[in-house]
């Protein structure tokens, strides 16, 4: 038990640290900006927020936008901490992304999935926690989500997320085939300013079980399959966005894995901070019933 | 169009019975319907252009031509103060630039005006305007519109019309 508490403490210390570093960076850069006027060039909210795996996106879905407020001439970045409190579990994710010249994005996220009482029921121990690191890269291929208001072409990006789960032995016992794998996705995002809408869709090729938290592949299959992610959001005002999302998942483990949905509100008081609150439904996760709950995410950006 | 009031429906649907399979189907259907409605609401870019008839009514959201001119004048003064845009407009003839921009905004919005200034590419050539400068200008415009009490809908309408000009203005 003490080790579990220590691990949880270590986790929150690390999450807090990444936020503190990001906050310090934003303050430092903001004051530098007053002289050089060289940072924070994108329009408010147009780089989205950090999705659960660390890439720029909505909450669950990945978007084609590049993280941070850097324009084609600048480097930007973001750091985030997200907590999803579900009926029987708690998922935490924290990490950072760097956007280079509104063209490339590198991201990292560490996820911790606390099984709480279910862990004991499964014989893993109460509070048994699955951990996963996600290393992401994204490149914008064509289109501009903001400026191309006179064209149908959305902003399109190609990305990958390399996932390394730390719980190999337990994953094998669950029936998963692998403890690391790489997702590949194509995302298309368009902001319709006139209609105040953001529409985004992504096709993700993955073999992940519950995003990879329960490993990759299983008795029901082991190949990468196309999954769909979609977001529709309404720009209530420049600093307030309301939206809904969906993300399909596949049941490789034969444990009844289901699609995920959320309804979110994201608030951007300024370019350095955003807060996203969502109601999520991640579907069935091992135990009977759907896992629903509240998603809260804090992001610092520059 | 996806109205903000549509979202709570999803939340309400999602909140019913954890284990009831029907609720999942309901959520999926609601989601797909909303997505579909959102896509229909978008309309084509050409349809947008036709929407605005060439009349005073097109400017009613801006307080008519007079309101538009007042807002634009404030906008130009802001451009001279914003540290990012100020160097570009330091020596600008404010009344002349206000007149040009008012005409241009009025014409774009579908109002009873004809833009008499120079071509956008030609005007901005040699200025080496960067995307961040362009965005700073857009932000000042937004602030000027907020200051003038212009609705969110009308603000987004003008911003949407100006956004594609980024290609003519930036990097020349
Ligand atoms: C959508 C964005 C923009 C629009 C619609 C726009 C429009 C115009 C118009 C109508 C004129 C006057 C042309 C004439 O009278 O012949 C003008 C001039 C000018 N623009 Fe822009 N412009 C935009 C963006 C920018 C940006 C981002 C900058 C630099 C930060 C800039 C800098 C200038 C300057 C320095 C002039 C000359 C002003 C003078 O006469 O002193 N413009 N622009």
CA dihedral A78, A62, A85, A215 (to 10 degrees): -110
CB B98 within 8 A of CB B91: no
| Residue A147 at interface with chain B, using a CB cutoff of 8 Å | yes
- Does residue B158 share a domain with residue B144? yes
B167/A147 Cβ within 8 A: yes
pTM of the model: 0.84
Please give the share of chain B, as a percent, with pLDDT higher than 70. 69
| Residue A74 at interface with chain B, using a CB cutoff of 8 Å | yes
Crossing angle of helices B64-79 and B94-108, rounded to 10°: 130
Give residue B35's domain range. 9-40
Q: For residue A89, with 0-12 CB atoms within 10 Å meaning exposed, 13-18 middle and 19 or more buried, which class applies?
A: buried
A232/B35 Cβ within 8 A: yes
ipTM: 0.85
| Residue A246 at interface with chain B, using a CB cutoff of 8 Å | yes
- Does residue B154 share a domain with residue B121? yes
| Residue A43 at interface with chain B, using a CB cutoff of 8 Å | yes
Residues 268-287 of A with CB under 8 A from B: 279, 281, 283
CA of B159 to the centre of ligand 1 (A): 15
Question: Which of B68, B77, B88, B107 most suits a substitution to test ligand 1, by most atoms within 8 Å of the C-beta?
Answer: B88
Closest chain A residue to B142 measured between Cα atoms?
A238
B14/A281 Cβ within 8 A: yes
Domain-embedded: residue B125: yes
Q: How many CB atoms lie within 10 A of CB A289?
A: 14
CA of B45 to the centre of ligand 1 (A): 24
* Over residues A176-181, mean pLDDT: 98
Domain CATH for B71: 1.10.490.10
Give me the pLDDT at residue B60, please. Answer: 96
Number of folded domains that form chain B: 2
Could you tell me the two tokens for B94? Answer: 């404010």
Residues of B in contact with A293 (CB under 8 A): none
Give me the pLDDT at residue A38, please. Answer: 39
Q: Assess whether pLDDT exceeds 90 at residue B3.
A: no
Lowest mean pLDDT among A29-33, A122-126, B149-153, B159-163: A29-33
Higher pLDDT: A28 or B74? It is B74
| Residue A293 at interface with chain B, using a CB cutoff of 8 Å | no
- Does residue B79 share a domain with residue B101? yes
Residues 85-124 of A with CB under 8 A from B: 87, 102
* Over residues A139-152, mean pLDDT: 97
B103 — pLDDT class (breaks 50, 70, 90): very high
Give me the pLDDT at residue A14, please. Answer: 55
How far apart are the C-alpha atoms of A294 and A154, rounded to whole Å? Answer: 31
Could you tell me the two tokens for B8? Answer: 């709570």
DSSP, res A43: P
Give me the pLDDT at residue A40, please. Answer: 53
* pLDDT tens-digit map of A217-276: 999 999 999 999 999 999 999 999 999 999 999 999 999 999 999 999 999 999 999 999
Q: B55 CA to chain A: closest CA distance, Å?
A: 19
- Does residue B71 share a domain with residue B121? yes
Residues 98-157 of B with CB under 8 A from A: 130-132, 135-136, 138-139, 142, 152-153, 156-157
Closest chain B residue to A72 measured between Cα atoms?
B131
Sequence-ordered alpha helix ranges (H) in chain B: 7-14, 21-42, 45-51, 64-79, 86-89, 94-108, 120-124, 131-147, 152-162, 166-169
Higher pLDDT: A205 or A22? It is A205
Give me the pLDDT at residue B56, please. Answer: 79
- Does residue B53 share a domain with residue B36? no
Q: Which CATH superfamily is domain A2-301 in?
A: monomeric porin ompg (2.40.160.40)
CA of B75 to the centre of ligand 1 (A): 12
Q: A197 CA to chain B: closest CA distance, Å?
A: 8
- Does residue B78 share a domain with residue B102? yes
How far apart are the C-alpha atoms of B166 and B153, rounded to whole Å? Answer: 21
Domain-embedded: residue B108: yes
Closest CA relative to residue A103, chosen from A135, A131, A68: A68
B19/A290 Cβ within 8 A: yes
Higher pLDDT: B116 or B56? It is B116
Q: Assess whether pLDDT exceeds 50 at residue A185.
A: yes
- Residue matched to tokens 């609401």: B41
Domain-embedded: residue B1: no
How far apart are the C-alpha atoms of B136 and A39, rounded to whole Å? Answer: 11
* Over residues A157-175, mean pLDDT: 97
Among the partner residues A42, A151, A232, nearest to B135 by beta-carbon distance = A42
- Does residue B15 share a domain with residue B61? no
Mean pLDDT of chain B: 80
User: Concatenated DSSP letters for A149-191?
Assistant: TT-S--EEEEEEEEEEES-HHHHHHHT-SBSEEEEEEEEEEEE
How far apart are the C-alpha atoms of A248 and A227, rounded to whole Å? Answer: 5
How far apart are the C-alpha atoms of A274 and A268, rounded to whole Å? Answer: 4
Domain-embedded: residue B105: yes
Q: Diameter of chain B by CA atoms? A: 69
Closest chain A residue to B32 measured between Cα atoms?
A246
| Residue A267 at interface with chain B, using a CB cutoff of 8 Å | no
Rg (CA), chain A: 19
Please give the share of chain A, as a percent, with pLDDT higher than 70. 87
* pLDDT tens-digit map of B12-47: 333 333 444 455 555 555 555 555 555 444 544 443
Per-domain residue ranges of chain A = 2-301
Could you tell me the two tokens for B18? Answer: 């954890």
- Does residue B92 share a domain with residue B36? no
Residues of A in contact with B28 (CB under 8 A): 246, 259, 261
- Does residue B72 share a domain with residue B21? no
Chain centroid, CA B1 distance in Å? 17
- Does residue B129 share a domain with residue B91? yes
How far apart are the C-alpha atoms of A133 and A163, rounded to whole Å? Answer: 6
CB B26 within 8 A of CB B13: yes
Mean pLDDT of chain A: 90
B133 lines ligand 1 (CB under 6 A): yes
Sequence-ordered alpha helix ranges (H) in chain A: 2-36, 116-121, 168-174
A290/B38 Cβ within 8 A: no
Residues of B in contact with A236 (CB under 8 A): 4, 152
Q: Is A300 helix (H, G, I), strand (E, B) or coil?
A: strand
* Over residues A31-44, mean pLDDT: 55
């Amino acid at each position: 038990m003490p080790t579990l508490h220590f691990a949880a403490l270590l986790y929150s210390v690390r999450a807090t640290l990444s936020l503190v570093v990001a906050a310090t960076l934003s303050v430092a850069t903001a004051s530098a900006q007053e002289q050089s006027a060289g940072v924070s060039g994108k329009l408010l909210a147009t780089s989205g927020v950090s999705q659960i795996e660390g890439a720029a996106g909505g909450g669950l879905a990945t978007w084609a936008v590049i993280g941070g407020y850097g324009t084609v001439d600048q480097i930007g970045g973001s750091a985030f901490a997200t907590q999803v409190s579900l009926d029987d579990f708690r998922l935490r994710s924290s990490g950072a992304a760097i956007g280079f010249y509104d063209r490339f994005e590198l991201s990292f996220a560490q996820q911790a999935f606390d099984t709480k009482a279910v862990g004991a029921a499964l014989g893993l121990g109460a509070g048994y926690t699955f951990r996963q690191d996600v290393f992401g890269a994204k490149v914008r291929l064509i289109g501009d989500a903001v400026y191309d208001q006179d064209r149908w072409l959305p902003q399109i990006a190609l990305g990958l997320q390399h996932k390394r789960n730390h719980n190999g032995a337990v994953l094998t016992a669950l029936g998963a085939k692998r403890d690391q794998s790489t997702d590949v996705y194509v995302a298309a995002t368009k902001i319709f300013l006139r209609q105040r809408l953001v529409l985004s869709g992504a096709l993700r090729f993955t073999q992940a079980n519950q995003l990879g938290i329960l490993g990759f592949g299983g008795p029901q299959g082991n190949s990468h399959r196309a999954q769909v992610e979609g977001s529709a959001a309404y720009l209530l005002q420049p600093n307030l966005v309301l939206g809904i999302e969906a993300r399909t998942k596949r049941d490789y483990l034969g444990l009844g894995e289901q699609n995920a949905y959320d309804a979110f509100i994201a608030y951007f008081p300024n370019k350095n901070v955003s807060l996203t609150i969502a109601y999520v439904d991640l579907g069935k996760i091992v135990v009977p019933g759907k896992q629903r709950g509240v998603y809260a995410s804090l992001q610092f950006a520059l | 169009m996806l109205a903000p009031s549509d979202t709570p429906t999803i939340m309400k649907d999602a909140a019913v019975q954890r284990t009831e399979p029907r609720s999942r189907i309901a959520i999926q259907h609601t989601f797909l319907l909303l997505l579909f409605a959102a896509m229909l609401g978008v309309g084509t870019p050409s349809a947008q252009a036709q929407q605005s008839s060439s009349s005073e009514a097109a400017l009613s959201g801006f307080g008519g031509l007079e309101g538009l001119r007042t807002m634009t004048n404030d906008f130009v003064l802001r451009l001279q103060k914003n540290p990012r845009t100020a160097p570009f407009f330091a020596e600008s003839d404010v009344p002349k630039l206000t007149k040009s921009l008012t005409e241009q905004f009025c014409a774009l919005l579908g109002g009873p005006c004809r833009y008499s200034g120079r071509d956008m590419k030609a005007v901005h050539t040699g200025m080496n305007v960067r995307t961040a400068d362009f965005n700073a200008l857009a932000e000042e415009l937004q602030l000027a519109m907020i200051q003038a009490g212009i609705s969110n809908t009308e603000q987004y309408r003008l911003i949407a019309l100006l956004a594609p000009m980024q290609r003519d203005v930036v990097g020349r």
